[in-house]
Amino acid sequence: MKNTDTYTPRVLIVAGSDSSGGAGIQADIKTCAAFGVYSACAVTAVTAQNTLGVQRVEALSADLVATQMRAVLSDIGADVIKIGMLANGEIIRAVADVIINDAEDATVVLDPVMVATSGDKLLEDAAIDALKELLIPLADVITPNIDEAETLTDYRPKDVDGLIQAGERLLDMGAYAALMKGGHLESKSITDVLVAPDGNHIMSAPRIYSRHTHGTGCTLASAVAALLAQGAPQEIAVREAREFVFEAIRTAPKLGKGSGPLNHGLGNETVQNSVSG
């Protein structure tokens, strides 16, 4: 890993804003801070939401999203670009164009956000083809849950073997690696699979039964991005990011009446203890 005493790892977050602070850019920034990584952002949409659901969504213009990205890349730069909510096809095309022309050396972590934890839609149906064609081939790691995997691959995983099969389809579509999240499988354990060129890495842990799971996908992808920015190998980044999310759920602040936020304020010492223990 990089010597962070002499180098500041940088993550550029491209995602929507969550007014409740539990998901989206707010969760991404807090997660990067927990790992001691500098984060900048390009806001794609503004949402009015809380733990009970999304009340309103307004997407920014694709040109403004691209301009935000270029402003950061031309000055601060980015080791990793973490992509979350993109809202529509115009924004997807703009983001892909910036990555190709202005961020060729950056690692890309793609969280294909389509639906909020509450069930509210966050990506237009017409934009799915653009996501498949333009962004999946740019992804160094894509992090779909089961519903997202089904939408992208036309195949719904029903077990660990199914997660692997869906992940292999995403690699065939151009992704370098796929972190297939198995949280929606019915079992007492949470099993995720990193499908990568060097093989399949199966990771399992006891399920934490909690309603405080708002922003788990954003947080996991951002933790992976932060660790990759620090120079961690992909498998290690995924394993340590999973440990961070489990600890953030376990110590959640118990806020809100619905799906509450995680504890993103674990702090560097707690992060290091949780991911190394």
pLDDT digits (tens, 9 = 90+) for 141-181: 999 999 999 999 999 999 999 999 999 999 999 999 999 99
**From start to end of the chain, where are the E strands?**
10-18, 38-50, 53-59, 80-83, 107-110, 141-142, 178-180, 189-196, 199-206
Q: Name the residues annotated as catalytic.
A: 181, 213, 215-218
Q: Considering Cα of 125, then 126, then 131, then 132, what sign does the dihedral take? A: positive
The interaxial angle of helices 216-229 and 234-250, nearest 10 deg, is 140
Q: Which CATH number fits domain 10-272: 3.40.1190.20, 3.60.21.10, 3.30.70.20, 3.40.50.620?
A: 3.40.1190.20
Two tokens, residue 217 = 């996908």
pTM of the predicted structure, to 2 decimals: 0.93
Two tokens, residue 253 = 């602040």
pLDDT digits (tens, 9 = 90+) for 33-83: 999 999 999 999 999 999 999 999 999 999 999 999 999 999 999 999 999
